[in-house]
A and B are shown apart, each in its own frame.
Chain A
Amino acid sequence: MKLIVTFSRKAGKKPIIAQVVRDTGVLINVERALIDSSEGEALIDVPDESCSVVKERLAELGASVRVLEDIISLDESRCVDCGACISICPQEVFSFDEDWKLVMEGDRCVLCGRCIEICPQRALSQKGEG
């Protein structure tokens, strides 16, 4: 399961994610992170069964946590099934089915944004930011 973790760094540069790994013993995969001197945002992947314990511990350490589900949204009325998104996606989210229809495995997405940027039909967007 993918979680977006945001935290403030104003109180000091605490290694929050490392702390959670040590406290919970859950191996966390950091897929994308943007951290500057005042705040940080990380996209992490955790095993489904450990999701609640990780979320709990992150919250205790002062981070806010949001579960990511189907983060990329495909406007089927715009999509023409060209496939421009297929080869540029680092996570192999997109593929064709046997009828050459574009299919998407949104849970693999790490929100790099490349497909949104290059879709010739502008059919892709980030959920909630339509």
Chain B
Amino acid sequence: MEKTIGLIRERIRDGNARVVTAEEMPHIVDELGEEGALREVDVVTTGTFGAMCSSGAFLNFGHADPPIKMERVWLNDVEAYGGIASVDAYIGATQKSTTREARYGGAHVMEDFVSGKAVELRALSTGTDCYPRRTITTELLLENLNQAIMVNPRNGYQRYNAAANSTDRSLYTYMGMLLPNCGNITYSGSGLLNPIMNDPSFRLIGSGVPAFLCGAPGMVIGEGTQHSPASGFGTLMVTADMKEMSPDYLRAATMTGYGVTLYVGLGIPIPVLDIETVRSTAVRDEDIVVDIIDYGIPSRSRPSLRKVSYAELKSGAVELHGEEVRTSSLSSYRRAREIALTLKTWVEEGKLEPALPTRGIDTTRSALPLRETVQGPRVLDIMDRKVISIGQDEEIRTAAKKLLKGETNHLPVIEESGKLVGIVTTYDISKAVVNPGKATRVRDIMKKRVITTTPEEPVDIAVRKLEKHNISALPVIDRDDRVIGMLTAMNLGKLFGGRWLK
């Protein structure tokens, strides 16, 4: 048996349609079987509410008198892209305020507009014969704008990898706070309620399909940026009128240590046309598997600690390395549910009529990494190759002499084999002199936990280590932990005026 979209619409108009949420669907299929569910259910609604950084809106301010061609535009001190005609701009969710940094950004501007608050517009121009004005400052409400059309380049990720941190210090990421030694796991997404997860082959989700977006009736434009359905990470580009949105489903947020983002509510109704739709909408959290990625590794190809299902993530704790580790969701399942339920009402009441795509979405594509034609500086390009080191049984006085003679502040401490075992600094030695105690040998005063770098490491990563640990030098070690160089704050000076910075 198959149903047509016409039949489903007719049932909706007659008030006979059965609309259910994707959360109810697995139980219905259990109860009625696939054929029974196909006969019974006409539309399945989905929903998700979480941080979606790739969001923003096109705004049209209208013309001033005398007119201005707004070349640079700020809204409450958050810069919007003004390189589109004269009074249009695109405000991006993650753009930070020039005055309030991470506490306020593009997402907050959008939330303020939707909440009915006044937003200050400032714009600059060089002035032309047709647009003579050079500056403008004015306060605007959402209703004063001709258009405020949200267009989100990448929303509704099909699923998202969970996060943990194997290092010995806390990390602040876009996946929230990650405690040291894999002390917690964070994840995002609504699992079985996720729109694409209910139609992973994009048979029914595509261009022109209606959607719930931040409380407004909106539409799927097509595939989202970084769309990668071949690996199970499809995305959508979506749009809706901001003037119809609600702050309940559009929320600015700040991920501490990362920056501003926007919590977006998205839901798509899926017409149940055939058995395949019944099967895909009966998806369960147990079926949706992601990796737990180790964010402690500062590289694009971060390793996976294990596979995990949304069912396990949602249970509140996951076993990792033989221990129960607590999980935190970053998206709101409660609001995802509310969205699916609201959408259900909208479909039943005819506010949003299910439709088939006018253009399909590619199901084979994989997102590629950035092609880099110019390699950034690596540690080996600027490190000091002359290493002055010391043994751990040497006297502190010998270390002091070496430091003076070598005109350096850091002495790596090495074993006979050349292996790094510690580090002493001029500070450690001064401290030993001021507080003369039992310490006589280098081993008594050296720091054993040494932060190191490798020759191949990008300088930016090494600099991040220096900043994070508030230190001024890193021993450069090879695969056998032997010190082959030193990277100090002095070496970084080589970057300036050299070939790396133009």
Contacts and interface: CB of A to CB of B under 8 A. Distances in A.
A41 to B, nearest CB: 24
A88 B184 contact: yes
A120 interface: yes
B254 A122 contact: yes
Interface string B47-84: 00111000000000000000000000000000000000
B179 A80 contact: no
Interface stretch (B93-101, B330-338, B491-499): B330-338
Contacts of A92: 326
Contacts, number: 73
Interface string B314-352: 001000000001111111111101000000000000000
Given A80-B49, A80-B251, A80-B263, A86 B334 contact: no
B335 A84 contact: no
Interface string A21-51: 0000000000000000000000000000000
B387 interface: no
Interface string A43-82: 0000000000000000000000000000000000000111
A83 B329 contact: yes
B288 interface: no
B201 interface: no
Interface in B184-210: 184-186
Q: Which of A92, A100, A101, A117 has the most chain B CB within a 10 Å cutoff?
A: A100
Interface residues of B, number: 30
Interface residues of A, number: 21
B328 A83 contact: yes
Majority SS of interface residues in chain B? strand
Given A86-B316, A88-B177, A88-B179, A120 B328 contact: no
A129 interface: no
A92 B179 CA distance: 14
B332 A117 contact: no
A81 B254 contact: no
Contact of A101 (B184, B261, B334): B334
Contacts of A101: 334
B253 interface: yes
Given A84-B329, A86-B328, A120-B330, A100 B255 contact: no
Interface string B460-483: 000000000000000000000000
Interface in A104-128: 114, 117-118, 120-122
B391 interface: no
B251 A81 contact: no
Nearest to A116: B256
A85 interface: yes
B224 interface: no
Contacts of A88: 176-177, 179, 184, 328
Given A82-B330, A87-B328, A118 B253 contact: no
Interface in B25-56: 49-51
A111 to B, nearest CB: 17
Nearest to A101: B334
Nearest to B258: A120
Given A84-B186, A85-B328, A118 B176 contact: yes
Nearest to A88: B177
Given A81-B335, A87-B186, A118 B256 contact: yes
Q: Which of A83, A88, A117 has the most chain B CB within a 10 Å cutoff?
A: A83
Contacts of A95: 316
Contacts of B330: 82-84, 120
Contacts of B254: 120, 122
Contacts of A96: 316
Interface of A: 80-88, 92, 95-96, 99-101, 114, 117-118, 120-122
Given A80-B263, A86-B326, 12 more contacts: A80-B335, A82-B50, A82-B263, A82-B332, A83-B328, A83-B329, A83-B330, A87-B179, A87-B185, A99-B334, A120-B255, A120-B261
20 contacts: A80-B334, A82-B50, A82-B330, A84-B186, A84-B328, A86-B326, A86-B329, A87-B326, A88-B176, A92-B326, A99-B334, A100-B334, A101-B334, A117-B256, A120-B51, A120-B253, A120-B255, A120-B261, A120-B330, A122-B254
Query: 10 smallest A-B Cβ distances: which pairs?
Result: A87-B184, A87-B328, A120-B253, A100-B334, A87-B326, A83-B329, A81-B334, A100-B333, A118-B177, A80-B332
